[in-house]
Structure 1
Amino acid sequence: MPDNIYMQNYDIREQGILVEYRTTGEYLPAHWHNSLELVYILNGNASFFLEGAEHKLVPGEFIAIDTNQIHEARCTHSYMMVVLRIDDDLIQRLMGNKRNFQIICSRAELTNELVPAYLAICDRLKDLVTLHLKQPKGVMIATQSIALDILYRLIKDFSIPLYKEDLPEPSRNQLRIKEIVSYIDKHYMEPLSLEQISTVFGLNSDYFSRMFRQNIGIPFTQHVNHVRLSHIYHDICTTDEPVLEILDKHGFSNYKLFSRMFKELYGDTPREIRKRAREETL
């Protein structure tokens, strides 16, 4: 993909904090991180699917995605955003190795009582942008300080306590879904039918189809095509290979379906996307 980071990142690896400023959209199929992630939209709009549920964002809003939470990011119409990630190992250290809570925070789930707390975090995210633009002395220290303050506010106002004795082992479906997503990531270039992958995982195809859609939010075939599209988009932006050769390389055999899905997902044709990517690198 073209370099979509505006100026530099603030990658404070020793502290477990990463801040990115992005100026072009992106699409990421279902995935998860070993970190708490906040996405704050400055311009454009975005949709996130968290474990099957859609959350839409407009400028001035953010969403928090907790560690290991399966999510799909549709930010192709978001042209400026801030992404903050806080490593879960850091969170555990700061909490005395007691990660006995889950963070749930998005605009769609706000109660009236929590609106001021949500807006306060929005103000802190705006402070990150101001720091980024002004570049004062000690900007890295200030960035870390704001990130930790945001973490504190999320834990204080948007965390749900989880007690060890009440926690089941990770559900079989969650483990299966992660295994399935990983399998698709490795084999997306190959023909992948519902019947074939159901057999690989020893599941009935109807059950597999329902389970996948409930956890990911879209049908299995659509997810596979979205994975292919994300790789195709990358090659369109970064190579001069003919589009048909790129499609063939990434396992997309139906050009008519590709054209429709690509424009729905990225808002433009491959030709226009490639042209814009070249202009951005000049």
Structure 2
Amino acid sequence: MKHEMISPNEHYPFKLFSFTSRNPDRLISTHWHESAELLYCLKGNLEVRFPQVTYLLEPGDTLFINSNMIHSSRSPLPNEVFVMQFPLHFLQEMTQEQYNEHFLFNLIPLKQKDHRIQQMLDQIFDDYQKDTLAANLLVKSRTLALLALLVEEYRIPLASQKSIKSLKHLERLKQVNEYVQKNYHQPLKLEQVAEVFNYDPAYFSRFFKKYMGISFSEYVNTVRLEKAYYQLRDTDMTVLAIAMANGFFSVKSFYNVFKKNYNLSPQQYRKKYFH
């Protein structure tokens, strides 16, 4: 789990961008950020996984990821996704300090799409691409209109006690994550990490799976796999060298984890997408 810091665009009090994934099954490992995030799928598919539920976004689908929600994503098909990231302090200022104190947003993919939201996001995306003074002002005004619609029809009450408890777990998971990020290239046994953080191994295993949505060993492999992915893409290192550099300790274990996640061997994936 990475704690991702969000920096607004130059002309806005929030961050806008679009991304495309041309490689099927590209993984974005488990992470969280204080900022909230709205995803709008323009083309292809995007799978977003939370600890308790997974959503598959198709063209026209929207998903609002509330502040401090642990999530990961992958691209089953090549895609294009428009992203709006709202700093927590911006949302609180716009909602009279009520967002994340009294309510959250519940905007998820539905069979019956809300065409008002689609129309607003299409307009925001078009104006964002123009990048003129007038277009920038329209982006800001349309974004406020979008937030007004979300407040009116897509807010759900927040139990403050649950929020406080969740933040406590996030802080501990952040510490575990930092430890894994520093030591992913070493042997990392659950029992060893549990001892570092003064947990009983069985309790630590249940705690991690409950709040992260995946087992500890799966998470460690995800971190290793993400590091290996970039080396496979950006370097001429051999598959053996990449495996050794990222804690797999054998080509076979790297091969098995890679193929499980990407449906191709590392050699096949490199040849197909990176050459």
Into which bin does the TM-score normalised by the smaller protein fall?
0.7 to 0.9
Residue 161 in structure 1 maps to residue 157 in structure 2: yes
Counterpart of 1:4 in structure 2 is none
Residue 270 of structure 1, aligned match among 244, 258, 266: 266
Q: Structure 1 residues 73, 32: closer, same or farther in 2, change over 3 A?
A: same
| SS of residue paired to 2:118 | helix
User: What are the superposed Cα offsets for residues 101-120 of structure 1, whole Å, 9 maximum, x if unpaired?
Assistant: 2122212xx5x9xx56x442
Structure 2 CA distance for aligned equivalents of residues 151 and 269 of structure 1: 44
SS at match of 1:155: helix
Residue equivalent to 1:43:
43
Q: Distance in 1 between matches of 2:207 and 2:183?
A: 20
> For 1:272 and 1:90, how far apart are their aligned partners in 2?
45
Q: Quick one: structure 1 residues 128 and 15, their matched pair in 2 at CA, closer, same or farther if it must change by over 3 Å?
A: closer
Q: Does 1:260 align with 2:239?
A: no
The answer to whether the aligner puts 1:81 opposite 2:81 as a matched pair is yes
Q: Quote the residue 2:13 is aligned against.
A: 16
Distance 1:20 1:234 in 2: 21
1:213 to 209, 219, 224: 209
SS in 2 for 1:170: helix
Q: Deviations over 1:44-79 (max 9, x none)?
A: 222222233222222221211111111111235342
Change (3 A) 1:262 1:144: farther
Q: Which moved more, 1:265-274 or 1:35-44?
A: 265-274
CA distance in 2, matches of 1:209, 1:78: 34
Conserved 8 A contact 1:77-1:266: no
Q: Describe the SS at the equivalent of 1:169.
A: helix
Q: Which runs of 5+ in 2 are unaligned?
A: 1-6
SS of the residue corresponding to residue 28 of structure 1 reads strand
CA deviations 1:190-224 (Å, max 9, x no partner) are 21111111111111111111121121111110111
| Counterpart AA for 2:210 | Q
Question: 1:27 is paired with a residue of what secondary structure?
Answer: strand
| Corresponding residue pairs, total | 263
The answer for the alignment partner of 2:220 in structure 1 is 224
Counterpart of 1:194 in structure 2 is 190
Q: Which residue of 1 aligns with 2:3?
A: none
Q: Give the TM-score normalised by structure 2.
A: 0.82
**What is the correspondence of 1:1-282 to structure 2 with a 5 Å cutoff?**
12-13=9-10, 15-24=12-21, 26-75=26-75, 77-99=77-99, 100=101, 101-107=103-109, 115=112, 118-131=114-127, 138-162=134-158, 169-171=164-166, 172-275=168-271, 278=274
Q: Which amino acid aligns with 1:246?
A: I
Amino acid at match of 1:16: P
Q: TM-score, normalised by structure 1?
A: 0.80
